[in-house]
Protein backbone atom coordinates (compact mmCIF):
# COMPACT_ATOMS: atom_id res chain seq x y z
CA UNK A 1 0.00 0.00 0.00
CA UNK A 2 1.00 3.65 -0.41
CA UNK A 3 0.87 6.39 2.20
CA UNK A 4 0.43 10.00 1.11
CA UNK A 5 2.74 11.77 3.56
CA UNK A 6 1.54 15.28 2.66
CA UNK A 7 -2.10 14.39 3.31
CA UNK A 8 -1.23 12.59 6.53
CA UNK A 9 0.64 15.60 7.91
CA UNK A 10 -2.40 17.81 7.32
CA UNK A 11 -4.61 15.66 9.54
CA UNK A 12 -5.24 17.37 12.89
CA UNK A 13 -5.39 14.17 14.91
CA UNK A 14 -2.11 12.98 13.42
CA UNK A 15 -0.51 16.33 14.27
CA UNK A 16 -1.87 16.00 17.82
CA UNK A 17 -0.27 12.55 18.05
CA UNK A 18 3.02 13.95 16.73
CA UNK A 19 2.98 16.79 19.29
CA UNK A 20 2.20 14.30 22.06
CA UNK A 21 5.17 12.19 20.96
CA UNK A 22 7.51 15.20 21.08
CA UNK A 23 6.22 16.26 24.49
CA UNK A 24 6.54 12.81 26.06
CA UNK A 25 9.87 11.93 24.44
CA UNK A 26 11.82 15.17 24.75
CA UNK A 27 10.04 18.10 26.42
CA UNK A 28 8.74 16.58 29.67
CA UNK A 29 11.95 14.63 30.52
CA UNK A 30 14.20 17.61 29.68
CA UNK A 31 14.53 18.82 33.31
CA UNK A 32 16.12 15.46 34.12
CA UNK A 33 19.07 16.14 31.80
CA UNK A 34 19.31 19.89 32.26
CA UNK A 35 21.96 19.48 34.97
CA UNK A 36 23.99 17.09 32.80
CA UNK A 37 23.92 19.49 29.84
CA UNK A 38 24.98 22.42 32.02
CA UNK A 39 27.85 20.42 33.54
CA UNK A 40 28.92 19.23 30.09
CA UNK A 41 28.91 22.81 28.78
CA UNK A 42 30.91 23.97 31.80
CA UNK A 43 33.45 21.16 31.37
CA UNK A 44 33.84 22.01 27.69
CA UNK A 45 34.47 25.67 28.59
CA UNK A 46 37.06 24.66 31.20
CA UNK A 47 38.81 22.38 28.69
CA UNK A 48 39.14 25.30 26.27
CA UNK A 49 40.63 27.41 29.05
CA UNK A 50 43.03 24.58 29.92
CA UNK A 51 44.29 24.46 26.33
CA UNK A 52 44.88 28.21 26.29
CA UNK A 53 46.62 28.15 29.68
CA UNK A 54 48.84 25.30 28.53
CA UNK A 55 49.80 27.19 25.37
CA UNK A 56 50.59 30.31 27.41
CA UNK A 57 52.64 28.40 30.01
CA UNK A 58 54.64 26.47 27.41
CA UNK A 59 55.20 29.58 25.30
CA UNK A 60 56.47 31.64 28.25
CA UNK A 61 58.60 28.73 29.43
CA UNK A 62 60.37 28.63 26.07
CA UNK A 63 60.53 32.42 25.77
CA UNK A 64 62.08 32.84 29.23
CA UNK A 65 65.01 30.58 28.37
CA UNK A 66 66.41 33.36 26.15
CA UNK A 67 64.15 36.45 26.07
CA UNK A 68 66.55 38.54 24.01
CA UNK A 69 66.89 35.94 21.28
CA UNK A 70 63.20 35.06 21.00
CA UNK A 71 62.13 38.70 21.43
CA UNK A 72 64.38 39.79 18.59
CA UNK A 73 62.73 37.19 16.37
CA UNK A 74 59.23 38.51 17.09
CA UNK A 75 58.07 35.72 19.38
CA UNK A 76 55.01 36.71 21.43
CA UNK A 77 53.04 34.79 24.03
CA UNK A 78 49.47 35.09 25.27
CA UNK A 79 49.37 37.31 28.34
CA UNK A 80 45.66 36.90 29.13
CA UNK A 81 46.04 33.25 30.20
CA UNK A 82 49.48 33.56 31.77
CA UNK A 83 49.78 33.85 35.57
CA UNK A 84 53.45 34.08 36.56
CA UNK A 85 54.54 32.57 39.87
CA UNK A 86 51.24 30.69 40.32
CA UNK A 87 51.25 26.97 41.04
CA UNK A 88 50.60 24.68 38.08
CA UNK A 89 49.32 21.11 37.76
CA UNK A 90 49.68 18.59 34.99
CA UNK A 91 46.42 16.99 33.87
CA UNK A 92 45.77 15.03 30.68
CA UNK A 93 49.14 16.16 29.36
CA UNK A 94 48.34 19.85 29.90
CA UNK A 95 49.93 22.32 32.28
CA UNK A 96 47.20 24.38 33.97
CA UNK A 97 46.89 26.67 36.96
CA UNK A 98 45.64 25.54 40.35
CA UNK A 99 42.20 27.19 40.21
CA UNK A 100 41.52 25.76 36.75
CA UNK A 101 42.69 22.32 37.86
CA UNK A 102 40.25 22.16 40.78
CA UNK A 103 37.42 23.56 38.66
CA UNK A 104 38.11 20.80 36.15
CA UNK A 105 38.00 18.09 38.82
CA UNK A 106 34.75 19.47 40.24
CA UNK A 107 33.12 19.65 36.80
CA UNK A 108 34.15 16.06 36.01
CA UNK A 109 32.78 14.89 39.36
CA UNK A 110 29.44 16.62 38.77
CA UNK A 111 29.24 15.19 35.25
CA UNK A 112 29.83 11.65 36.54
CA UNK A 113 27.09 12.11 39.13
CA UNK A 114 24.63 13.27 36.45
CA UNK A 115 25.61 10.54 33.97
CA UNK A 116 23.22 7.79 35.25
CA UNK A 117 20.26 10.17 34.86
CA UNK A 118 21.36 11.01 31.33
CA UNK A 119 21.66 7.31 30.45
CA UNK A 120 18.13 6.73 31.76
CA UNK A 121 16.91 9.61 29.59
CA UNK A 122 18.60 8.18 26.48
CA UNK A 123 17.01 4.77 27.07
CA UNK A 124 13.61 6.35 27.71
CA UNK A 125 13.88 8.54 24.59
CA UNK A 126 14.81 5.49 22.49
CA UNK A 127 11.86 3.45 23.77
CA UNK A 128 9.46 6.38 23.49
CA UNK A 129 10.62 7.06 19.93
CA UNK A 130 9.86 3.48 18.89
CA UNK A 131 6.55 3.50 20.77
CA UNK A 132 5.20 6.66 19.15
CA UNK A 133 6.69 5.87 15.74
CA UNK A 134 4.64 2.68 15.66
CA UNK A 135 1.56 4.58 16.89
CA UNK A 136 1.93 7.17 14.11
CA UNK A 137 2.37 4.51 11.42
CA UNK A 138 -0.69 2.69 12.75
CA UNK A 139 -2.77 5.88 12.80
CA UNK A 140 -1.58 6.97 9.33
CA UNK A 141 -2.49 3.61 7.80
CA UNK A 142 -6.01 3.83 9.23
CA UNK A 143 -6.59 7.41 8.02
CA UNK A 144 -7.98 6.56 4.54
CA UNK A 145 -10.55 4.20 6.07
CA UNK A 146 -14.08 5.33 6.89
CA UNK A 147 -13.87 4.54 10.60
CA UNK A 148 -10.93 6.67 11.70
CA UNK A 149 -8.94 5.07 14.50
CA UNK A 150 -8.72 6.78 17.86
CA UNK A 151 -5.34 8.16 18.91
CA UNK A 152 -5.46 6.20 22.17
CA UNK A 153 -5.88 2.92 20.26
CA UNK A 154 -2.77 3.63 18.17
CA UNK A 155 -0.79 4.57 21.29
CA UNK A 156 -1.78 1.30 22.98
CA UNK A 157 -0.83 -0.64 19.83
CA UNK A 158 2.59 0.97 19.91
CA UNK A 159 3.04 0.14 23.58
CA UNK A 160 2.15 -3.52 23.02
CA UNK A 161 4.59 -3.75 20.10
CA UNK A 162 7.49 -2.16 21.99
CA UNK A 163 9.36 -5.40 22.93
CA UNK A 164 9.30 -6.61 19.32
CA UNK A 165 10.38 -3.20 18.03
CA UNK A 166 13.36 -3.11 20.39
CA UNK A 167 14.37 -6.60 19.22
CA UNK A 168 14.05 -5.52 15.57
CA UNK A 169 16.20 -2.43 16.14
CA UNK A 170 18.89 -4.49 17.85
CA UNK A 171 18.94 -7.04 15.01
CA UNK A 172 19.15 -4.30 12.37
CA UNK A 173 21.91 -2.61 14.39
CA UNK A 174 24.05 -5.77 14.31
CA UNK A 175 23.39 -6.25 10.59
CA UNK A 176 24.45 -2.64 9.94
CA UNK A 177 27.62 -3.16 11.99
CA UNK A 178 28.43 -6.23 9.89
CA UNK A 179 27.76 -4.38 6.63
CA UNK A 180 29.88 -1.40 7.68
CA UNK A 181 32.72 -3.71 8.75
CA UNK A 182 32.65 -5.34 5.31
CA UNK A 183 32.67 -1.90 3.68
CA UNK A 184 35.20 -0.39 6.10
CA UNK A 185 38.11 -0.26 3.64
CA UNK A 186 36.16 1.31 0.72
CA UNK A 187 34.55 3.82 3.12
CA UNK A 188 37.95 4.74 4.60
CA UNK A 189 39.38 5.27 1.11
CA UNK A 190 36.59 7.74 0.33
CA UNK A 191 37.68 10.02 3.19
CA UNK A 192 35.04 12.59 4.29
CA UNK A 193 32.65 11.27 1.64
CA UNK A 194 32.82 7.91 3.42
CA UNK A 195 30.95 9.40 6.39
CA UNK A 196 28.18 10.50 4.03
CA UNK A 197 27.99 7.00 2.55
CA UNK A 198 27.78 5.50 6.05
CA UNK A 199 24.85 7.77 6.91
CA UNK A 200 23.21 6.98 3.58
CA UNK A 201 23.35 3.27 4.39
CA UNK A 202 22.43 3.34 8.08
CA UNK A 203 19.80 6.10 8.32
CA UNK A 204 17.13 4.57 6.02
CA UNK A 205 17.66 1.16 7.61
CA UNK A 206 16.90 2.37 11.14
CA UNK A 207 14.10 4.68 9.95
CA UNK A 208 12.28 1.82 8.22
CA UNK A 209 12.40 -0.66 11.11
CA UNK A 210 9.06 0.46 12.57
CA UNK A 211 6.99 0.49 9.34
CA UNK A 212 8.62 -2.75 8.18
CA UNK A 213 7.68 -4.48 11.43
CA UNK A 214 4.18 -2.97 11.34
CA UNK A 215 3.38 -4.59 8.01
CA UNK A 216 5.26 -7.88 8.34
CA UNK A 217 5.17 -8.52 12.12
CA UNK A 218 8.64 -9.96 11.51
CA UNK A 219 11.24 -9.02 14.14
CA UNK A 220 14.01 -9.53 11.56
CA UNK A 221 12.83 -7.07 8.87
CA UNK A 222 16.14 -6.60 7.04
CA UNK A 223 14.83 -8.12 3.80
CA UNK A 224 11.71 -5.96 3.83
CA UNK A 225 13.73 -2.82 4.60
CA UNK A 226 15.97 -3.54 1.61
CA UNK A 227 12.93 -4.12 -0.63
CA UNK A 228 11.28 -0.87 0.47
CA UNK A 229 14.48 1.18 0.13
CA UNK A 230 15.04 -0.28 -3.34
CA UNK A 231 11.45 0.40 -4.40
CA UNK A 232 11.38 4.05 -3.26
CA UNK A 233 14.55 5.68 -4.62
CA UNK A 234 14.29 9.41 -3.94
CA UNK A 235 10.47 9.49 -3.74
CA UNK A 236 9.45 11.07 -0.45
CA UNK A 237 5.88 12.01 -1.36
CA UNK A 238 4.72 8.39 -1.23
CA UNK A 239 6.23 5.32 0.41
CA UNK A 240 5.47 1.86 -0.87
CA UNK A 241 5.29 0.09 2.48
CA UNK A 242 3.78 -3.18 1.52
CA UNK A 243 3.36 -5.85 -1.11
CA UNK A 244 0.67 -8.44 -1.73
CA UNK A 245 1.90 -10.51 1.17
CA UNK A 246 1.85 -7.60 3.61
CA UNK A 247 -1.25 -6.88 5.62
CA UNK A 248 -1.48 -4.02 8.11
Do 16 and 59 lie in one domain? The reply is yes
Alpha carbon distances (Å) from 24 to 5, 27, 66, 171: 23, 6, 63, 26
Q: What is the pLDDT of residues 179-191, one digit of tens each?
A: 778 877 777 777 7
Rounded to the nearest 10°, the torsion over CA 120, 121, 127, 129 is -170
Q: Say whether both 172 and 199 belong to one domain.
A: yes
| pLDDT tens track for 121-145 | 999 999 999 999 999 988 888 877 7
Same domain, 40 and 100: yes
Given pLDDT bands bounded at 50, 70 and 90, which one contains residue 146?
Answer: low
In this structure, the answer to whether residues 53 and 139 fall within a common structural domain is yes
Global model pTM greater than 0.85: no
* Tally of domains in the chain: 2
- Average pLDDT for residues 145-154, to the nearest whole number? 77
- Based on the domain organization, do 128 and 91 belong to the same domain? yes
Query: What is the chain's mean pLDDT, rounded?
Result: 82
Structural domain harbouring 131: 1-160
Where are the extended beta strands (E) located within the chain? 2-4, 88-91, 94-97, 238-240
**Three-state DSSP class for residue 248:** coil
One domain, residues 138 and 31: yes
Same domain, 98 and 212: no
Residues 13 and 121 in one domain: yes
Is residue 216 located within the same domain as residue 104?
no
Amino acid sequence: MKLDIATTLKNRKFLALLITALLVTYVLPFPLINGFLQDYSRLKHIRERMLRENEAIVCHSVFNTDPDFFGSHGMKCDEDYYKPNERTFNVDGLSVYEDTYYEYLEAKKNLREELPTFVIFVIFAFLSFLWFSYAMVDFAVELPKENEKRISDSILSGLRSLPALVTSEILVFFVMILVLILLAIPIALLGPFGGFITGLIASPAFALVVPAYYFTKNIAPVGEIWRVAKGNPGDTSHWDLGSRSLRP
